[in-house]
Amino acid sequence: MRIDLHTHSNVSDGTEDPEVLVESASAAGLDTVALTDHDSTAGWDRARAAARRTGIMFVPGMEVSCRTDTGISVHMLSYLHDPLHAGLRAEIEQSRTARLTRARRMVELMSADYPISWDLVEQHVSAGATVGRPHIADALVTLGVVRTRSEAFERVLTARSPYWVSHYAPHPARAVELIRDAGGVPVFAHPSASNRGALVGGADLEEMIDAGLLGLEVDHRDNPAAARTALRGIARERGLLMTGSSDYHGEGKPNLLGENLTSPETFEAIRSLASGTTAG
């Protein structure tokens, strides 16, 4: 069984429609794929229908954008939660609204130095998706300011740039609580991805575990080899699940479907712990 539990469609910052993403997963030899768009479940129905057509298993998921009290960004994967859970939906909607306001302000700041406009950014956003930094990056590529999304994030969209604007996001422990309340399984995404910014310390991780964190995404291209060893030690010590995933975005990033996988045993454990919705 080849199981990839972290992918993105153009409902958030991927480049493929949910249906196309599932078809790509099947073509890549996956047996099971999760759609984990940022702060959105809007692609679930389309991905599920495509999975039934292609004969692979679909896992409904979401990646919740979080921030610690010290301003460190954390991404929390949620698997098999109830998409209609009022508390989780309200928190996600607040984050989406804040991210839109933040994106507008960042574009406004950039327009003083680059010929970028909000209209141009919106041309890179799929229907129903929330505008975010990846879409700003795509606009910068179109303008020739940078060659790729990755270069845009490294040069222009980094938290160290003069165009950076913060935005509201729930504390990761709060996200864990809401995901559990919604019957989902919370897994800390790429916890040692130092190339993305500052990492959370032990106190924040302990708070997440106390709130009900159930897993760590260990095998991910952004977790260095030594860090993966340390994460496995933490997971074994604290009784947490260990997942592996691609974090596929289509053409938006170099990540390849199936480049890291989750074991069938871990996937079955996730299914047994969930009560919000089902895979299939």
Q: What tens digit of pLDDT does each residue of 48-60 get?
A: 999 999 999 999 9
Confidence check: pLDDT of 110 > 90: yes
Which ranges constitute the DSSP H helices of 182-240?
202-211, 225-238
Lowest mean pLDDT among 18-32, 46-60, 171-185, 192-206: 192-206
pLDDT of 32 reads 98
Q: Stretch 10-16: mean pLDDT, rounded?
A: 92
Whether the predicted pLDDT of 150 surpasses 90 = no
Taking residues 141-155, what's their average pLDDT?
93
pLDDT tens digits for range 255-271: 999 999 999 999 999 99
Average of per-residue pLDDT across 141-154: 94
CATH of segment(s) 3-93+167-273: 3.20.20.140
Q: Given this model, what pLDDT does residue 253 score?
A: 84
Q: State yes or no: pLDDT of 19 exceeds 80.
A: yes
Q: For the segment 192-221, what is each residue's pLDDT rounded down to a tens digit?
A: 998 777 788 889 999 999 999 999 999 999
Q: Which residue has the higher pLDDT, 264 or 130?
A: 264
Q: What is the pLDDT of residue 232?
A: 98
The SS3 call for residue 34 is: strand
Among residues 277, 212, 237, 223, the alpha carbon closest in space to that of 76 is found at 212
The answer to whether residues 91 and 174 touch, using CB atoms and an 8 Å cutoff, is yes
Q: What is the mean pLDDT of the chain?
A: 95
State the Cα–Cα distance between residues 221 and 198, nearest whole angstrom: 17
pLDDT of residue 129: 80
**What was the pLDDT predicted at 233?**
97
pLDDT given at position 196: 76
Gap between the Cα atoms of 19 and 89, Å rounded: 24
Judge if pTM exceeds 0.85: yes
Task: List, by residue range, all CATH 3.20.20.140 domains of the chain.
Answer: 3-93+167-273
Give mean pLDDT, residues 54-78. Answer: 96
Residue ranges matching CATH 1.10.150.650 in the chain: 101-155
Is a pLDDT exceeding 90 seen at residue 178? yes
| Rounded Cα distance, 67 and 38, in Å | 14
Instruction: Please work out, in degrees rounded to the nearest 5, the angle formed at the alpha carbon of residue 38 by the alpha carbons of 175 and 58.
Output: 100
Query: CATH for 101-155?
Result: 1.10.150.650
